[in-house]
Amino acid sequence: MTTTEQPVTEPGHYGPRDVDNLWLHFSRMGSYGEQAPPVIVKGEGCYLWDDRGRRYLDGLAGLFVVQAGHGRRELAQAAAKQAEELAFFPIWSYAHPSAIELSKRLAAAAPGDLNRVFFTTGGGEAVETAWKAAKQYFKLVGKPAKHKVISRAIAYHGTTQGALSITGLPALKQDFEPLVPGAFRAANTNIYRAPYFGDDPKAFGQWAADQIEQAILFEGPDTVAAVFLEPVQNAGGCFPPPPGYFDRVREICDRHDVLLVSDEVICAFGRLGTTFACEKFGYVPDMITCAKGMTSGYSPIGAMIASDRVMEPFLRPGVTFPHGYTFGGHPVSAAVGLANLDVFEREGLNQHVLDTEHDFRRTLEKLTDLPIVGDVRGDGFFYGIELVKDKATKETFDADESERLLRGFLSGALFDAGLYCRADDRGDPVVQLAPPLIAGQAEFDEIEQILRGVLTEAWARL
């Protein structure tokens, strides 16, 4: 039932009562009682406009998604053309051309022998698929006790029950427990707060990788099926891998017959300057999970890409993977994915990121002269700025201070100043930035200037 109360708003504007029927994601719904949430009505290039005509720089590419930028007519046209020809058909024992062709493109771009593509509708479903595939794989090869997974502290891997179990953020999980059993955590690669070897990245990387082996040994190698790792960990504020880290992790997984899953839902499709981020860091996983940037957000799709080794037992006579999604490999989404990859190739978006990522870093690092900025870290077009109370001691904010700083001031102030980004407290307080891959120095400078003004005011308010 919809509300009958008529909003008192200007024509084309949305008031509080207009959104009464919309349940926003990851939102405190009670905070919108007297004020409507921001309503975004248009996007073009690196910019967004709200229902009142105000313009914002999209410093998060929607949600690490809009790689090719907003307003791409060719992607909208690809969707319309496919919808006219074949709007929907499932890939449950059937196939259609756009899913076939997109699977070929993804397999060709993936490293090593990752040649089999299982389509989903998003990243959490891709992670869920990878865990289920790992469990069944080991049953099929005669190791049925191998079902557990290792992931990292503070890492986010999705909201479905399995993916949430793999997620290393207790506050996101507590309301939905009990979750799927069998998921365990190891240390992440936050060298800024490293308990050991903080001044030696290579030694720290080996230590962090060894914590994964310790977790495998503690649980018993004959019970562990997979390790799930993001190339650059998102939650906590963009933790890149130290030198040698993934080489060591690959050795550990091989030693204990554990599958390595590269969770690239954020990092794939140019975010770090390569189609798949594992390529940038020189490792070949057994599975890749991906989504977001595959279509630059113009239509939803995700995928789990498996190696020939993982696929082999599923090709045996009579074997079925009893898993799937109605909209997985949707014809329209797959067609948009193909058109999006064409844009990447035609415009050289991956190379653009590689050519300008150092400019982005240098521009953001100008902010380190502010007393509130403790660390600037990340890779490609994917950065986190950690906020501190004391730069010398790296003292962070307590829970109440983070609440006042991030939700009470920063999120709204940055948006009001014309920058859409993320002020995040999953871990220590950070501001996260991931602009569309078409951004350049003008956008980098605008991001820095807006952040400088707002962070300066935030420090004055402490």
Q: Which domains does the chain show, CATH number per domain?
A: 16-71+349-461 (3.90.1150.10), 75-347 (3.40.640.10)
**Cα(305)–Cα(368) distance, rounded to whole angstroms?**
39
Q: Give per-residue burial for 356-389: e unless 16+ CB within 10 Å, then b.
A: bbeebbebbebbeebebbbbbbbbbbbbbbbbbb
Q: What single string gives the DSSP state of each residue in 364-393? A: HHGGGGSTTEEEEEEETTEEEEEE-SBTTT
Residue 44 backbone phi and psi in degrees, to 5: -150, 120
**Cα(117)–Cα(290) distance, rounded to whole angstroms?**
10
In 45-97 the beta strands, taken as DSSP E runs, fall at 47-50, 55-58
**Cα(121)–Cα(292) distance, rounded to whole angstroms?**
10
Structure tokens at 287: 């599975």
Biggest distance spanned by C-alpha atoms of the chain: 68
Per-residue pLDDT in tens (0 to 9) along the chain, 462 residues: 444 344 445 657 888 888 888 988 988 888 887 788 899 999 999 999 999 999 999 999 999 999 999 999 999 999 999 999 999 999 999 999 999 999 999 999 999 999 999 999 999 999 999 999 999 999 999 999 999 999 999 999 999 999 999 999 999 999 999 999 999 999 999 999 999 999 999 999 999 999 999 999 999 999 999 999 999 999 999 999 999 999 999 999 999 999 999 999 999 999 999 999 999 999 999 999 999 999 999 999 999 999 999 999 999 999 999 999 999 999 999 999 999 999 999 999 999 999 999 999 999 999 999 999 999 999 999 999 999 999 999 999 988 888 888 778 998 999 999 999 998 877 789 999 999 999 999 999 999 999 999 999 999 988
